[in-house]
Amino acid sequence: MIKLQEEINRVTEELLEEDEMNLTDINNLIYAAATIMTQTLNKRSKRSKNRRDVKFWKIRMQKQISSWRKELSIIAETGTVSDSGKLNRKKRKIFQIYRVTNAREVAQLTETLRQKVQANAQRIRRYEKRETQYSQNKMIKEDTKKFYRNLGMKNIEAREPPCMAEAEMYWKSLWGEEAQHNERAE
């Protein structure tokens, strides 16, 4: 990007040194340079996008959730003063889709849509958690160092390791002493 910008600047400076350029020509030149830069950057970003990063199941579920939320907000506006013709048409369409005829069914529909939104949002969280768990398990098998680096842990190094006598004394205190255990425990 920097190399491209430097090249564009160099060419622009050469063209600006000519005396025959007026303000419109300068403006067109700068616009052309910006267009070239934008197109080049967009091409690079499209190439770098990995198909695995796009989760179509998540996009589909989020669209469904946003649709249900939209319907909920339209239904919630039912009793307000600001009823407009456009809003009434949308409400009638929703009521036709869900075959709602009376106020009790409207309340049931509202509660059903809320539960659907909550259930799908929870499903997305559960899927993402499982996906993260799966990728972490795979990463820890393949590259443990990368796993811990992704967790944000830094290298932990002992500056002064304990001497041999201290280490032996520590482990003897844990494992060397006899202890009474319940032998009848299940």
Model confidence pLDDT, tens digit, residues 85-98 = 888 888 889 999 99
Q: Which pTM was predicted? A: 0.52
Residue 55 has pLDDT above 70, yes or no: yes
- pLDDT at site 50: 62
> Token digits for 85?
């013709």
Higher-pLDDT residue of 45, 82: 82
Q: Are 120 and 61 in contact (CB under 8 A)?
A: yes
Residue 5 has pLDDT above 60, yes or no: yes
- Give the model's confidence band at 38: pLDDT under 50 very low, under 70 low, under 90 confident, else very high: confident
CA distances from 82 to 15, 69, 74, 78 (A): 59, 19, 12, 9
Higher-pLDDT residue of 113, 182: 113
